[in-house]
A and B are shown apart, each in its own frame.
Chain A
Amino acid sequence: MTSLAQLFFDAAALGGIYAMAALGIALIFGVMNLVNFAHGEYIAFCVFALIVPSTDAAAVMFLGKAPALLLIPLILTIGALVAMASEYVVFRHMRKASPVAMMISSFALGFIIQNALLAVYGGRPKAISLWPELNTPIDIAGASVPLLQLIVILTTLAVVTGLAALLRKTRIGLEMRAAAENFTMARLLGVRANVVITGAFALSGALAAAVALIMVTQTGVADVRMGGHIMLVAFIATVIGGLGSLPGAVAAGFLIGAASVLLQAFLPLDARPFRDAFLYTLVIVSLLVRPQGLFVPNSAKPRV
């Protein structure tokens, strides 16, 4: 039977991916009340940036050829740039729009990015072999854990602590927290709105890029639709974590990952195809019990 350690690592690794994606969404929601549904497309965009643009069936590595030390910052920068560009082109003009209008425009933006990828790269999924050696399993505490899973878990922890430090110790972090508390008041007190929002988008985009690198290393494929599922899970994580709460998004991301792995491990075979139905039933239950979210910040009350 499956060992406890194995379950823990499987759950933590999946949860880590979800948590990182959820964090990207929560960051932007915190500063401008926008649920950015284009986030999944940022992920796909970063994955496709690894290969040469072409509609040929076989993919040729482009940026993906760069050594890891260069590639990681490069892709993170690309993610940040895409997110910042979308803020500059789309969301900056919608500061005064209602959250619903912004959400709809984020859907539209996602559509545009996805279709641009389709036009440039074609509809067929592509294979990308990025760092295949990271999938080699190693034995820890009786569990067989791919190196990548460990990296995911450690990266998530590092990102979360790094972000916490950034939010607590730096000026931009202070401004972001202030903006998340009460944006209008923060502006009146001299918080630089554009800097805060652009910064949040950059961080969010970089997180999407990190998710992209993990996904592509894990699965070895690039598909224009690959961001959709993870975006959905991440969005749900931000909701049950409490919209606007960064620690909440992270905790809920881990929670969903863990629940998904446990359901996969313990559901009887006939019920296993309906794993996600069970998972989302749990989400509904969680929302019924705590409609404001599991880890709700005080600031969320008047806004949501």
Chain B
Amino acid sequence: MIDFDLIIDTVVIIIVIIGLFFFFTATIGLLRFPDFYCKLQATGKGDTLGAILILFGIVIYILKEDFSFNTILVSLKIFFIIFFIFLANPTATHALTKAGLDSGVTPFKKEDLKK
């Protein structure tokens, strides 16, 4: 006999932990990377994927608890948030990077490492 509740719970926990891992690496990158562009790259990618994975885990968990019209509406709203983050976060990173390049922030080079 297979306990479906246990399997779905395990899947949710794994997804949320992977999302938290991406948040963690993004924060480490923000603190440890040497210059503006590297930090932006770390947070832009890590935050997007981490938030999407955690929200997706929440959707699965809600639908497992109570599969009715109301929870389907709630999960639809969470999917809209995922769509919004998926579009807006990389675009904001792109805008920041371009603004930085235009205002003359110099990128980090290999020669700077030897100093």
A-B complex is real: no
Interface residues of A (CB under 8 A from B): none
